Amino acid sequence: MYRTKAFRAIIAAGAAAFMLAGCSSAAEPGAGTAESEAAGGEAGGLIAVITPSHDNPFFKAEADAAVAKAEELGYETSAASHDDDPNKQSELIDAAISNGAKAIILDNAGADASIGPVRKAVEAGIPVFLIDREINETGLATAQIVANNSQGAALVAEEFAKALGGEGTYVELTGKESDTNAGVRSQAFDSVLSQYPDMEKVAQETANWDQQEAFTKTETILQSNPDIKGIIAGNDTMALGAVAAVEAAGKTGEIIVAGFDGSPDAVEAIKEGKLLATGLQPAVQISEMAVEQADEFIRTGEASQPEKQSVDCVLINADNADQYTLFALEG
């Protein structure tokens, strides 16, 4: 019997926790020193967009969306990747400061490692709008806009449990330990799957969001656990690495794989019957929200939204995969 009541309770608890966080920041819209120093002005100037590697379609989509929205609003743009290297991120933020950026849109390179560079930009009078990943400090960034990773991962986990019939052994592939999203998604997976006493997690491996690493680790796992029924991964890149390893082992259709992000390649794998489901993060929407809020801040010197903002995810499976566009669903 599937634990839909437990699942709803988890979602409700996550929503309540977010509402509490939102209430604490909603009374005083976010921004650090940059807000107190800004007096407002005309739109225009440079908006710097800094994200992880564009080799990952998710990060490319969010960067492209931010650039397109900024240019639509009349700004010049620069787009660069820190490749999840905190030192490179610091250099790129220094460059944005030197170039007189009016705002920085940042998908950061680590929840702790990014605090210093964000503070440096804010102290230089440049507001920072974080997308996708939060940092472990409030009151610095003008906004931290993220997908509701807990809610989305819970959707994927419930679909995964349903496909496994609520029983059997499975494996989890997790992302970078420095990324808060990795921990949030893993905790949400466990919160749902632990409600199924006949399901057992027999291995958990970090594949660092990387497809090749996920492929290699899944191959090793399958050698020691040949009878597993499923693999749940913290992002689609790792899920696709697992799909390839399962296919190489001749077990497609026998081992169920689920991912997270809503990438084009993952949706194609769903259509082909190789991937069960993914949790769609609205990357384009989040990037556009960040740029629109940056534009408002540049023009008015004020932030009308709370610092912490969350956007719900959507489950994509075989039932709605045909409605997919780039990190969004039609209709």
Answer whether residue 330 is part of any domain.
no
The verdict on 137 and 153 lying in the same domain is no
Tokens 């419930």 found at: 158
User: Domain tally for the chain?
Assistant: 2
The verdict on 57 and 116 lying in the same domain is yes
Check whether 5 has a pLDDT greater than 90.
no
Could you tell me the CATH number of the domain that includes residue 204? Answer: 3.40.50.2300
Backbone angles phi, psi at 31, to 5 degrees: 160, 145
Answer whether residue 77 is part of any domain.
yes
Lowest mean pLDDT of 1-10, 224-233, 241-250, name the range: 1-10
Band (26; pLDDT cuts 50, 70, 90): very low
Check whether 125 has a pLDDT greater than 50.
yes
pLDDT for res 329: 87
The verdict on 254 and 225 lying in the same domain is yes
The verdict on 95 and 164 lying in the same domain is no
Query: Do 103 and 298 contact (CB within 8 A), yes or no?
Result: yes
pLDDT for res 293: 98
Q: Strands 143-147 and 168-174: what pairing?
A: unpaired
The verdict on 253 and 305 lying in the same domain is no
DSSP 96-130: HHHTT-SEEEE--S-TTTTHHHHHHHHHTT--EEE
Domain that holds residue 179: 149-280
Check whether 228 has a pLDDT greater than 80.
yes
Q: Strands 143-147 and 308-311: what pairing?
A: parallel
Backbone angles phi, psi at 106, to 5 degrees: -130, 125
Check whether 27 has a pLDDT greater than 70.
no
- Give the pLDDT confidence of 57-105 residue by residue, as tens digits: 899 999 999 999 999 999 999 999 999 999 999 999 999 999 999 999 9
The burial of 221, by beta-carbon neighbours within 10 Å (0-12 exposed, 13-18 middle, 19 or more buried), is given as buried
The sign one gets for the Cα dihedral 25, 27, 30, 32 is: negative
Element (H, E) at 205: strand 199-206
- Give the pLDDT confidence of 129-177 residue by residue, as tens digits: 999 999 999 999 999 999 999 999 999 999 999 999 999 999 999 999 9
Tokens 């994927």 found at: 156
State the chain's mean pLDDT as an integer. Answer: 90
- Give the pLDDT confidence of 191-217 residue by residue, as tens digits: 999 999 999 999 999 999 999 999 999
For 149, how many CA atoms within 13 A lie in the half-sphere containing its CB? 20
DSSP 162-194: HHTTT-EEEEEEE--TT-HHHHHHHHHHHHHHT
CA gap 50, 181 in Å, rounded: 18
CA gap 223, 228 in Å, rounded: 10
The verdict on 27 and 105 lying in the same domain is yes
pLDDT for res 330: 84
Q: What is the identity of the amino acid at 177? A: E
Answer with the residue of higher pLDDT: 18 or 110.
Answer: 110
SS3 percent helix, strand, coil of the chain, rounded to 5, is 45, 20, 35
Average of per-residue pLDDT across 12-37? 42
The verdict on 173 and 227 lying in the same domain is yes
Tokens 């787009």 found at: 79
The pair of three-digit structure tokens given for residue 106, joined into one six-digit string: 């940042």
pLDDT for res 30: 58
Q: Give the number of other Cβ atoms within 10 Å of residue 127's Cβ.
A: 27
Check whether 35 has a pLDDT greater than 80.
no
Average of per-residue pLDDT across 249-259? 97
Check whether 10 has a pLDDT greater than 90.
no
Strand partners for 278: 316
Query: Do 158 and 192 contact (CB within 8 A), yes or no?
Result: yes
Q: First-to-last CA distance in the chain?
A: 32
The verdict on 43 and 137 lying in the same domain is yes
Tokens 């409700």 found at: 12
What percentage of the chain has pLDDT greater than the value 70? 88
CA gap 218, 241 in Å, rounded: 8
The verdict on 156 and 274 lying in the same domain is yes
The verdict on 178 and 110 lying in the same domain is no
What percentage of the chain has pLDDT greater than the value 90? 84
pLDDT for res 331: 66
pTM score of the predicted model: 0.81
Angle, helices 115-123/86-98, rounded to nearest 10 degrees:
10
- Give the pLDDT confidence of 279-311 residue by residue, as tens digits: 999 999 999 999 999 999 999 999 999 999 999
Task: Look at residues 88, 97, 95, 87 and name the one whose alpha carbon lies nearest to residue 124.
Answer: 97
Which residues 6+ apart lie within 8 Å of 174 measured at CB? Answer: 182, 185, 186, 204, 205, 206, 207, 234
